[in-house]
Amino acid sequence: MNWQVLVPLLALLAFIFLIGIWSNRKMQQSSSFLTDYFLGSRELGGLVLAMTMAATYGSASSFLGGPGAAYSIGLGWVLLAMTQVATGYFVLLVLGKKFAIVTRKFKAVTLIDFLKERYESKPVVLLSAFSIVIFLFSAMAAQWIGGAHLIQSITGLSYLGALFIFAIAVLIYVIIGGFRAVAVTDATQGIIMFVGTLVLLIGVIIAGGGIPNIMADLVAENPNLVTPYGHDGSLSAAYVTSFWILVGVGVVGLPQVAVRAMSYRDARSMHRALIIGTIVVGFIMLNMHLIGVFARPVLPGIEAADQVIPLIALETLPPWVAGIVLAAPLAAMMSTVDSLLLLVSSSVVKDVYINYMKPNASYQHVKKVSIGVTAVIGVVVFLMAIDPPDLLIYLNLFAFGGLEAAFIWPIVLGLYWKYANKHGAMASMIVGIGTYIPIYQYNETYGHLLGVHAVTIPVFLSLVAFIVFSLINKREPYYF
């Protein structure tokens, strides 16, 4: 076992526990358990808000899968990854102040609270809760599997042992701390991700003999690696551009991102988060993917894409620095998982249980149920990740695009279009998910329909469905 790498990693975990405990003590002074556990009492400042958005969003894919793809595909994949810079400013500006004001007026704690008040429709609430639980549950399980693999590759433990460590660490601090713990640890993890990226970038450039040298090596190996079209010339402009919808502007429709747009303290925090978020997201995305490309001449012939970042860190950095740097992807996965875990349990407790089963639950009762449900979901994910069923892996493929296709218009038009109503929202969600899955399947078999990513067409179809079904039913303006 490589203790020089392991010690900094363990120190990080210990630090995160301390933050969870601190948040828990703060929570005991607060008056509303629900708002505090699931939203951190809407008190997030600018730095924490920006970091928590970056950390939630930057998951295993930005640290392992993405750089791995850049390693095999070249600069074209870095170009694709840069579509994500938009998430730093777009979500906060578009949902922005109106969403913050309206959700406070509604006393909304979850995204579904907002949809419930806005559309006043039980089917909309139940369908949303159902999609959140199904899609996010599978997205979360996939991250657990990734986290366990990473711990496995660093420590040499068995998969089961690694999964167990990961699960215990996540569960303890989500359960004791709730949203505030998650947000504050996300911020810590965001900072770790930022610093880790910078250190690794410098290490790789030095190992490769400078950027001009690395580029010359890449051109010598395959000139396509430095074009926007990928190593085999197959990355078309239309396909890469359609990622603006999947990972750029469409992120507005992701519940785990939208819920953060209702948690900030005031306009000043939001303004600071805009600047910090754009810098942090852009910096991490640009540099992590560049590291993937630069790793190619330094360490040629890596087969498993997920291994590129761990291997290059161990190769180019002193062991204890590698430990800190590898804490970055682990931090990214943990922070994604903890936010998703909280979101899934808030959907079960707040949106279904309290809304429809026990509206007059007492403070103590809500607290017990929230913590209990969070723990139960965590244990279920753990059990499923031991031997992941095929269905889970299958659903995870759809999670991101499926949620965007379902929620983007009910959120955005619900906020800004006064004629939006429940018929439109229902139609939009059904059309969005209903067309996304078949188109995704079609693209897997026959190549990309119209040359774009599977999420593109459903997003347009669900917009049309939303407008048509809103207008043909009762046309009555809504005022907040």
Write out the two tokens for 45: 């400042």
Binding piece for other proteins, criterion CB under 8 A, among 148-156, 190-198, 268-276, 451-459: 268-276
Q: Which of 196, 255, 282, 402 binds other proteins (CB under 8 A)?
A: 282
Give 227 or 355: the residue with its C-beta nearer to other proteins.
227
Instruction: Report if residue 249 touches other proteins, rule: CB under 8 A.
Output: yes
Q: According to the binding rule CB under 8 A, does residue 286 interact with other proteins?
A: yes
Nearest residue (CB) to other proteins, 76 versus 310:
76
List all residues 6 or more positions away from 225 whose beta carbon is below 8 Å from its beta carbon. Answer: 73, 74, 75, 218, 219, 231, 293, 296
Distance CA 290, CA 205 (A): 10
Nearest residue to 263 (alpha-carbon basis) of 35, 22, 88 = 35
Total number of residues that touch other proteins (CB under 8 A): 56
- By CB under 8 A, tell whether 358 contacts other proteins: no
Residues 6 or more apart whose CB falls under 8 angstroms from that of 3 comprise none
Give the list of residues 6+ apart from residue 87 with CB closer than 8 angstroms, or none: 53, 57, 247, 248, 251, 257, 277, 281
Report the site for other proteins in 119-138 (rule: CB under 8 A).
120
Residue from 157, 198, 202, 215 touching other proteins (CB under 8 A): that is 215
Contacts of 416 (CB under 8 A, 6+ apart): 98
User: Which residue from 25, 122, 271, 474 is in contact with other proteins, where contact means CB under 8 A?
Assistant: 271
| Residue 90 binds other proteins, judged by CB under 8 A | yes
Q: In whole angstroms, how close is the CB of 212 to other proteins at the nearest point?
A: 4
The reply on whether position 425 binds other proteins by CB under 8 A is no
Task: Verify binding: residue 311, other proteins, rule CB under 8 A.
Answer: no
- Per the CB < 8 A criterion, the answer to whether 275 and 282 are in contact is no
- Spatial separation of the C-alpha atoms in residues 216 and 226, rounded to whole Å: 10
**24 or 121: CB nearest other proteins:** 121
Q: Say whether residue 24 binds other proteins (CB under 8 A).
A: no
Binding piece for other proteins, criterion CB under 8 A, among 9-17, 108-116, 227-235, 430-438: 227-235
224 binds other proteins (CB under 8 A): yes
Does the protein bind other proteins through residue 115 (CB under 8 A)? no
Beta bridge partners of 264: 44
- Residue 241 or 473: the one with the smaller Cβ distance to other proteins is 241
Stretch that binds other proteins, among 168-176, 266-274, 379-387, 401-409 (CB under 8 A): 266-274
Q: How far is the CB of 354 from other proteins (least distance, A)?
A: 21
Segment interacting with other proteins (CB under 8 A) among 226-234, 344-352, 395-403, 430-438? 226-234
Site string for other proteins, 28-67 (x = CB under 8 A): ----------------------------------------
Tokens 């043909």, residue located: 472
Residue 379 makes contact with other proteins by CB under 8 A = no
Interaction of residue 380 with other proteins, rule CB under 8 A: no
Which of 89, 164, 239, 419: binder of other proteins (CB under 8 A)?
A: 89
Nearest to 65 by CA among 9, 139, 145, 146: 146
Q: How does 24-59 read in b/e, with b if 16+ C-beta sit within 10 Å? A: bebbeeeeebbbbbbbbbbbbbbbbbbbbbbbbbbb
Residue 274 CB, shortest distance to other proteins, in Å, is: 5
215 vs 449, beta carbon nearer other proteins: 215
Compute the CA torsion angle 408, 413, 414, 417 (nearest 10 deg).
180
The yes or no reply on residue 244 touching other proteins (CB under 8 A) is yes
Check residue 447 for interaction with other proteins (CB under 8 A).
no
Closest distance of CB 342 from other proteins, Å? 22
Nearest CB to other proteins, comparing residues 79 and 321: 79
Cβ closest to other proteins, residue 153 vs residue 236: 236
Tell me if 219 contacts other proteins by CB under 8 A: yes
For residues 446 and 479, which CB has a smaller minimum distance to other proteins in the complex? 479
Residues contributing to the site for other proteins (CB under 8 A): 75, 78-79, 82-83, 85-86, 88-90, 92-101, 104-105, 120, 210-215, 219, 223-224, 226-229, 237, 241, 244, 248-249, 266-268, 271, 274-275, 278-279, 282-283, 286, 416, 477, 479-480
